[in-house]
Structure 1
Amino acid sequence: MLHPRWTITALTIPGREEYLRQLIESLDALTVPGGARLTVVYNKPIRDGQDAIEQRVRGWSKRHACDVFFNNGDPTISGGRNFQLNVCKTPLLCFVDDDVTVHGDLFPTLEAALRTVPAGIVGARSYVEGSDVLFKPRDETPHVIAPEFRYMSVQGMLAAGYTNLFRDVGGFNHRRRFWGEWTELNLRMWRHGFPTGYVMDGGYLRHWEKAPESPTRNMEGRARHVLWGLICTAMEYDAVDISSATASFWQLVEERYLPYSFGETLTNGELLRATLELLPELSASMPAIMAQRLDSASHPFDFKPFHPIDAADVQRVLPSAKKKILPYREAVWARPSATRRLLSGLWRKVRGGRKTPRG
């Protein structure tokens, strides 16, 4: 298709081709309304053999045109995500992990959600491998269930939305190098007045857990990346002081993220040492962090990091979202121009005024 509506994009690294091929073949089995182009971004410096890799990956896609890129500039997670966003040429964009397969009426379901819910990011449910065990979204994550949507933070795996909206809210924060890029982008969407969440029917994903190590998990130095992301988040969104607004952030830091990254036996000394190791980098990044803090202060909705979304929050955001989403929606599914509507109305009047039908 010359001008497809969708770009479906996967970030990968060498060694995961078996799973990437599985994903691409599952996409071949699906119908995508308006057509789709696949983009695969290798998020690791590759100096040799790029042509052979490109030809091999392209050969796996029988239904959709496929482009292969190599991110040799900033191969962090946020750098790779922004690379994916920058090369997108279509109005709709779907980020999908390379260790999932897609099933069912996934893209008609995503389009129906985008056309009816003023959402900034739409996710799809995923199951553990071939089972009926739900992987994401996790029920313990705060959420609001509506008939057509589950309002909450979209926890990776698949995230669909309007390409220009992803760009207009600032893309991916480059300080979330190897952890937290989706969490921070979800927060920014809500603060700009665009809710995020999941469609829980129609299509779905299967997550294949035995894929080799990826840049997003099981990597050396993870504790340092998590700590760095937490420090930046607290400073960028004015969450350093503990208050009723920031209580959920600090509770999750203490009960989940620090034990998750450092282990259950973390000592104060280990935490202090890790923080001190980050100080030179923090000092160098401080002007950019403060600039984002100033920008964040102007956001129309002051949600704090890890804010537990409730029904009142959804109702507070929806009136604004319904107005602000219109330009993005109309750029995809264009409204008829005023002239076309006028001519259509005149034609209907002429047709209705005829005494006898033709033929």
Structure 2
Amino acid sequence: MEFYDVAIIGLGPAGSILARFLDSRYRVIAIDKKCGEEGGFQKPCGGLISSEAQKVLASFDLPLPKELLVDPQIFAVKTIDLKSRLIQHYQRCYINLDRHKFDLWLESLIPSGVEIHSHAVCKQIKRDKSGFAVTYSENGDIDTIHAKYLVGADGANSLVRRTFFPNKKIRQYLAIQQWFTETHQNPFYSCIFDPETTDCCAWSISKDRQFIYGGAFPAKHAKERFERQKQKLEKIGFRFGKPLKTEACLVLRPFAPWEFCCGEDNVFLIGEAAGFVSPSSLEGISSALVSAKGLSSVLNSGSGNLNRRYWVGTMGLRMKLFLKMLKCPFMYRPFLRRLVMKSGLQSIKMK
């Protein structure tokens, strides 16, 4: 029977950063379904690093290797209101990269003392006298380990959150994304608003001679909504063709501050598992990095009520996301959005 100090479920940006910064005195196990092999799990994501995430990476002294970057690097977002047919361009300093390679790179920075189980799926978690019993499958085998502290870094559909905090519901959408061969004359990013198909947003990204189109839709009839929006976009010049691949996943979009869940009783949630996602843009990498580093500092101190200290430590992050909630009406209420777009405030005049 194997005992660990910390069990981390999930090695996206949040889980990998936590594992990287935990003190070497801890015995740590990380369980993740992603692997570097062809056909392994890959996070469906557009793969853009926001200026906020760039700032956090800079504070960690983590420069990005060029192998992660893709073409092109574009510095404006084409914002489209399909109902009013308004289009504006806004400067955004995203870094365009390969999201799967980014995740694997962060994982490669984890110290060798951390025991990593890739291509493994967590099946069950329950409390026991040692803390937690974690059962997972790996290469067809089932194993159970025990840990004092449990960290859920397992994303929107977090098993850890669902197991220990089933009443902590966070608004969910189904994100659907398709990849096409790029046929547009000029590559571009876009952010699309279409209240007839979703009260959230859609996006497109040009990436290494491929064109990605995706959106976050209410789960009911999500596929039909997705296809209906594609038809509208074709009428204004979007080119799709035959999809090279289609992928989907759940995404969270917190509605109120009380929806955030940091955990309790030696269970900790970081990144999207805690609900730390921008409700306006759905960006979550910056919050994943910040919450993971914060939790590592709390665990490394090893003193006091660790759950309470983590909750207090995330106050700034939660306030920042709350302010983004206040921003949402100006983006998602059609009347206010039209006023902002018509004003041309902070927009770029395309020549």
| Both proteins in one fold, TM over 0.5 | no
TM-score (norm 2): 0.25
* TM-score, structure 1 as length reference: 0.25
**Larger % of helix: which?**
1
* More strand per residue: 2
The structure with the largest alpha-carbon Rg is 1
